[in-house]
Chains A and B, each alone.
Chain A
Amino acid sequence: MELISQLSVNALTLGLSYVLMALGLTVIFSIMGIVNFAHGEIYMLGAFVLYAAITVLHLNFFLGLLAVVIVVGILGIVLERFMFRRFSGQHLNGLVLSLGLSILLQNIALIIWGGEALSVSSPFRGHQFFLFGVPVSVERMFVTGVSIIILFLVYFFITRTKQGHAMQAMSQDVEAAALQGISIKHIGSLSFTLGCVLAGVAGALLAPIFYVSPFIGGMPVFKAFVVIVLGGLGSVFGAFVGGILLGVIDSVSLYYLGTMGDMAGFLILILFILFKPTGLFGYE
């Protein structure tokens, strides 16, 4: 019982962070047609900005999170304007570009902060409460709560606001959207920035739970691929279900198989691409 509840709390935290990553990635892909391999490096930078805000600027944890949103948001705007806009719609060149950027960002971080693992303190360190007699860490619950709030905000934004409707239109047909008077450049920039902010926040939220180093971005971005393929490309609901599902699969396989547990995700990815490329909730 203890084991099951511990695993399910871990699965929820892990799964929700996957959802945040995957949501950003799927928004960028469906609007610009680019799979952004540098997404994991944005995640990593989010964690480092939080680290820098707390240790260098002596901000508190929550102001640090705000700083992450601002810095990563600006980075997203710049990257879209000067890098990705030129390759919007060109799948393979965009992919190679993001690989190059990923190497670049990772090594810039390596030079600034060095290669060893750093830890970020959060105000919830060490606190825990008991839910049905099972200890639950406040830190993890905070991550879970914030992630759920962000997901609702994004869902509301995409389905209820004018900008969100424009994004949906653009993901279905760029030219038709442009003919309706939607500013393609503006919406492209908005979605790329939104995607980056989601990744950065995911990195910052998980920084106190795990550790921070220039190399932490690799795994999350591939988990996000699995989630997207699992849930169906371009489906927000699919990303949510896929993320939680992968969180469960990962926690269980990590517990029983150790480092080999990562293989589960990759196998799912291969099987889905081969036999059900539209995922569980995607459409053609």
Chain B
Amino acid sequence: MNNNNTGKKIIFAILMIALVFFPLIVGDDSFLVYISTLFLFYFVLGAGLNLIMVTGQLSLGHAAFMGVGAYACALLTVKLQWAFWPSWIIGGALAGIIAWVLGRITLRIKGTYFAILTFSFGEIVRLIFANVPFFGGMNGILNIPAPSFSIPGLFHISFEGKIAFYYLVLVFSLLCFIIYFRIKYSPLGQVLKSISEADFLSKSCGIDIMKYKLFVFVIASIWAGMVGGLMGSFITFISPDSFTVVESINLILINVIGGVATISGPVFGALFLIGIPELIRGAKEYQMIVFGVAIVLALFFLPNGVGGLFELGKKVKVKKKPEH
């Protein structure tokens, strides 16, 4: 993998330059800026879930952590009139704390039962949001303000404009990407992989697998909570419908399409999730069908996802199921 590293660096640099400068060309009202912000959101969400899925745990309730962050942030800014930043941090921290408690209890459970457990957790959280009047019921919370930043007497930035918000999200997702990259492209990443491939072996090699699983679970949930907070402010309202199991499945879709074992997987996956609805905008009712077909096709023909085509080169081979 090392021999074509310069090529990858060049691609990365071009991508970065494009991400930084294109809003200045297309202008503030551009739909492209809006879409790109969504793409960055889903990239961070997908990358977080990727870290969990690398350890072999399939979470069907990841959207609930988005919900926790979004509701905490929205309630603090709308009802208590707090500034955005502390509310945002508290939202992310709350998601992390809940993830820590939940992870401590549930991460020892593997496979199907973990998926069903996280699903139940997600549904319970959604039912609470939808039924407890404090959370605004089915209408959710409206008129969430945009963040602003000011040092009195020096300067003031408001993130109400689409481009300003885009840059805020870009900085945030870049920080997340660096953490994600550092985790995957390091001995830690190998440890995480070993947990899913041979957990008893890693355990007997002295690896505290629970610690690592918990670590990535909390990291991913903090990201989800923070994205939730940003997203609520970006779209200006939230409702329980934004954090259903469908959203959690979307995040799994990102990783199935992009490839769990790859580094670039969440990029391709998020591009797919955000790009497809735009490409077939004339036939919106077929969007979910495309998603469903894509999941099935990816499982059959691209076990390492789109990212696998680029990263793993010729090593990609469809593993045949052992004949009974």
Contacts and interface: CB of A to CB of B under 8 A. Distances in A.
A93 B299 contact: yes
Shortest beta-carbon contacts, A-B, top 6: A100-B295, A104-B292, A103-B292, A266-B120, A107-B288, A100-B296
Nearest to B246: A103
Contact of A103 (B112, B249, B299, B324): B249
Interface residues of B, number: 38
B116 A269 contact: yes
B115 interface: yes
Nearest to A226: B120
A239 to B, nearest CB: 16
Interface in A10-53: 29, 35
Interface of A: 29, 35, 83, 86-93, 95-97, 99-108, 110-111, 174-175, 178, 184, 218, 222, 225, 229, 258-260, 262-263, 266-267, 269-270, 273-274, 277
Majority SS at the chain A contact face? helix
22 contacts: A35-B112, A86-B300, A91-B111, A91-B112, A92-B56, A95-B58, A95-B112, A96-B252, A97-B295, A97-B299, A100-B256, A100-B294, A103-B249, A218-B245, A229-B116, A259-B127, A262-B123, A266-B127, A267-B120, A269-B117, A270-B121, A273-B109
Contact of B127 (A88, A90, A91, A260): A260
Given A263-B127, A273-B116, 17 more contacts: A29-B112, A35-B112, A89-B321, A91-B112, A97-B296, A100-B292, A100-B293, A100-B294, A101-B296, A107-B286, A111-B285, A225-B116, A263-B123, A266-B121, A267-B120, A269-B117, A274-B117
Contacts of B121: 266, 270
A266 B288 CA distance: 27
B291 interface: yes
A112 to B, nearest CB: 11
B292 A107 contact: yes
B71 interface: no
A90 B127 CA distance: 32
A276 B187 CA distance: 36
B124 interface: yes
B119 A222 contact: yes
Contact of A274 (B106, B115, B294, B299): B106
Contacts of A29: 112
Nearest to B299: A97
B131 A107 contact: no
B289 interface: yes
A184 B120 CA distance: 33
A102 B292 CA distance: 8
A89 B128 CA distance: 36
B105 interface: yes
Contacts of B294: 100
A257 B205 CA distance: 50
A80 B294 CA distance: 19
B61 to A, nearest CB: 11
B78 interface: no
B63 to A, nearest CB: 14
B288 to A, nearest CB: 4
A148 B47 CA distance: 48
B58 A96 contact: yes
